[in-house]
A and B are shown apart, each in its own frame.
Chain A
Amino acid sequence: DSGVTQTPKHLITATGQRVTLRCSPRSGDLSVYWYQQSLDQGLQFLIQYYNGEERAKGNILERFSAQQFPDLHSELNLSSLELGDSALYFCASSVGLDNEQFFGPGTRLTVL
């Protein structure tokens, strides 16, 4: 158990819908990262927050957005969902900006 929690574990929805994935980092960790893992693209970095501020952006679509709240939990919002958005979404956290990252168990999103 990494100490990072993600909810929900599984999510099934339809194309065009909007969903919110939630992540609670390990106690004391200020950085939160979001990654997407699909069969054809592998593990891809989406976005990072550090102490509430956006720190780095990767291959995140404009339909996706994220935020980190004052209590340091983070949410990833996915809108106008397409079939290709079906994937595992991982959240990770770390103490600072360049420490080892601890990954949560992931949320499996299925878009039908």
Chain B
Amino acid sequence: DAKTTQPNSMESNEEEPVHLPCNHSTISGTDYIHWYRQLPSQGPEYVIHGLTSNVNNRMASLAIAEDRKSSTLILHRATLRDAAVYYCITYSGNTGKLIFGQGTTLQVKP
């Protein structure tokens, strides 16, 4: 599983969009990019995943670079409830194991 690099922390204002970057320069062609988040005192929660194309769901959007060496998780309108640690994970799918890095701690200011 390829290593991912994320900023340690980011800040956003409530109701503004947030772009959380992730670098995964050693990703292999069949690895998926998964994002999970962990709210305070809770277990991680699945956010979104993709392989090559950009993806949207009710929680967020995932923009994947053409060379797949980086991706960006987009929260369209941050709320206070989105304050969490966001983990970007590359995932081979041969086994189910998720290798978590340090993640990005997102603070949302009212």
CB distance from A58 to the nearest CB of B (A): 6
- CB-CB under 8 A from B94, the residues of chain A are 97
- CB-CB under 8 A from A31, the residues of chain B are 96
CA–CA, A101 to B96, complex, Å?
Answer: 9
- CB-CB under 8 A from A42, the residues of chain B are 100-103
Tell yes or no: B98 within 8 A of A by CB. yes
| B97 & A48 in contact (Cβ 8 Å cutoff) | yes
Q: How large is the interface on B (under 10, 10 to 19, 20 to 34, 35 or more residues)?
A: 20 to 34
- Residue of A whose beta carbon sits closest to that of B45: A103
| A2 & B100 in contact (Cβ 8 Å cutoff) | no
Known: A92-B43, A101-B46, A103-B43. A55 touches B100 (CB 8 A): no
B 37-48 binary contact with A (CB < 8 Å = 1; else 0)? 010001111100
- CB-CB under 8 A from B97, the residues of chain A are 33, 45, 48, 56, 58
- CB-CB under 8 A from A45, the residues of chain B are 97-100
- CB-CB under 8 A from A50, the residues of chain B are 96
CA–CA, A109 to B106, complex, Å?
Answer: 27
Tell yes or no: A44 within 8 A of B by CB. yes
CA–CA, A43 to B93, complex, Å?
Answer: 19
Instruction: Return the 10 tightest CB-CB contacts between A and B, nearest first.
Output: A103-B43, A56-B95, A98-B93, A43-B100, A100-B46, A45-B97, A103-B44, A56-B97, A90-B43, A48-B96
